[in-house]
């Protein structure tokens, strides 16, 4: 009797300790399919709807520029390009589901820009989308339109009818590619009931590998390589339009949504907590915050040595985030790290 009372008193004291009750609260289990479903509902479906609307406006603005050339029409198209490109950049680190199956991002977001291939494609004078499809993706996409609209060394688009028609056609092709996956997010992810365990494991592996690849792409492709370039004009993303900082922050915004979830808060961190990997989840949250500070410190344009140093500092933080994902977290949840849509060109 005395022993039972001592146990009761001990438990009461333990529960009364600060944080003890919270520590006993189990996080809800989150299946990989639930993680992807919330990502589709919170981020991907609305993001692609927004991208479709912005690219349609861009195509219309370029049509107007070609029909009635002028500086005002060009400025309107430039403004609309920036809106469409930011909508795209938020989705760039998340090549999942229908977008991965259709290779949508490859088709409309080829970067770094291949200017010689774009100029060669303009000389081919494609007249419709079918003709454009016979031209490589390296000469298409929103980055190609940025070159034609903003490059300081190129003839203004309103003074080059062939280039203007080409830019408008590329914009309409982007609209068609985004429209092709519209409405498909409601069906994703799906899994056969008899293969549920195997399908969930595939979703988990794909989910983590995409985030690992996108973290590395942001570090190496978007920051480290251009920061260490000897070129007087490093090939930072969106440098021609003067929106590099905005693009880098938009990319990390998308990456963070995959890691921590969108409006519902169901992301990789929620999956880890549901598995009881609380320390790893806390480490990931902390690492994301440290990386966010470095991303927020980036300038809008990269012109000086100090600007490049800021890019290198952000790259170092991303390297730490990558290591946590690719080593500690991958090992803890038994995922083999491979290569995905985000890796390289």
pLDDT for 183? 86
Neighbours of 3 (CB within 10 A): 7
Contact call for residues 125 and 287 (beta carbons, < 8 A): no
Cα 131 from Cα 137, distance rounded (Å)? 12
Whole-number Å distance between alpha carbons of 78 and 74: 6
Average pLDDT over residues 44-67: 98
Q: Quickly list DSSP for 1-57.
A: -HHHHHHHHHHHHHHHSTTHHHHHSPPPP--HHHHHHHHIIIIIHHHHHHHHHHHHH
- Which of 59-73, 195-209, 283-297 is the least confident region? 195-209
pLDDT tops 90 at residue 25: no
Q: Are 248 and 296 within 8 A, CB to CB?
A: no
Q: Where are the alpha helices (DSSP H) in 92-224?
A: 97-101, 104-108, 115-124, 129-133, 142-150, 161-179, 196-216
Q: How high does pLDDT run on average in the chain?
A: 90
Q: Is 184 helix (H, G, I), strand (E, B) or coil?
A: coil
pLDDT at 198: 87
pLDDT tens for 268-314 read 999 999 999 999 999 999 999 999 999 999 999 999 999 999 999 99
Q: Is residue 3's pLDDT more than 80?
A: no
pLDDT digits 0-9 by tens, 105-156: 999 999 999 999 999 999 999 999 988 888 889 999 999 999 999 999 999 9
State the number of CA atoms in the 13 A half-sphere of 34 facing the CB. Answer: 13
d(CA 261, CA 291): 16
For the segment 97-111, the average pLDDT, to the nearest whole number, is 95
Residue 169's contacts (CB-CB under 8 Å, 6 or more residues apart) are: 126, 128, 129, 132
Q: What is the mean pLDDT of residues 251-262?
A: 97
The pLDDT, as a whole number, for residue 195 is 56
Q: What is the pTM of this model?
A: 0.89
61 confidence band (pLDDT: 50, 70, 90): very high
């Amino acid at each position: 009797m005395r022993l039972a009372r001592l146990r009761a008193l001990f438990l009461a004291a333990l529960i009364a300790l600060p944080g003890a009750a919270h520590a006993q609260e189990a996080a809800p289990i989150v299946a990989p399919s639930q993680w992807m479903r919330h990502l589709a509902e919170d981020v991907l479906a609305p993001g692609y709807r927004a991208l479709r609307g912005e690219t349609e406006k861009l195509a219309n603005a370029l049509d107007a520029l070609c029909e009635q050339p002028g500086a005002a029409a060009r400025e309107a198209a430039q403004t609309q390009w920036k809106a469409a490109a930011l909508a795209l950049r938020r989705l760039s680190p998340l090549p999942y589901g229908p977008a991965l199956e259709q290779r949508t991002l490859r088709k409309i977001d080829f970067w770094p820009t291949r200017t010689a291939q774009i100029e060669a494609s303009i000389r081919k004078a494609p007249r419709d989308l079918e003709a454009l499809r016979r031209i490589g993706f390296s000469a298409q996409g929103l980055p190609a339109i940025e070159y034609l609209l903003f490059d300081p060394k190129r003839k203004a688009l309103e003074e080059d009818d062939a280039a203007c028609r080409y830019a408008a056609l590329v914009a309409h092709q982007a609209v068609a590619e985004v429209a092709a996956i519209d409405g498909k997010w409601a069906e994703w992810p799906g899994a056969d009931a008899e293969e549920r365990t195997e399908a969930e494991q595939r979703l988990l592996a794909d989910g983590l590998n995409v985030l690992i690849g996108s973290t590395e792409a942001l570090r190496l492709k978007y920051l480290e390589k251009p920061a260490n370039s000897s070129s007087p004009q490093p090939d930072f993303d969106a440098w021609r339009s003067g929106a590099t900082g905005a693009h880098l922050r938009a990319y990390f915004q998308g990456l963070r949504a995959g890691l921590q979830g969108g409006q519902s808060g169901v992301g990789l961190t929620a999956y880890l907590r549901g598995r009881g990997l609380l320390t790893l989840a806390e480490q990931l949250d902390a690492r994301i915050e440290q990386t966010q500070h470095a991303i927020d410190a980036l300038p809008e344009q990269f012109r000086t040595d100090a600007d490049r140093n800021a890019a290198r500092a952000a790259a170092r933080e991303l390297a730490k985030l990558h290591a946590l994902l690719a080593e500690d977290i991958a090992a803890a949840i038994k995922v083999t790290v491979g290569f995905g849509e985000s890796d390289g060109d």
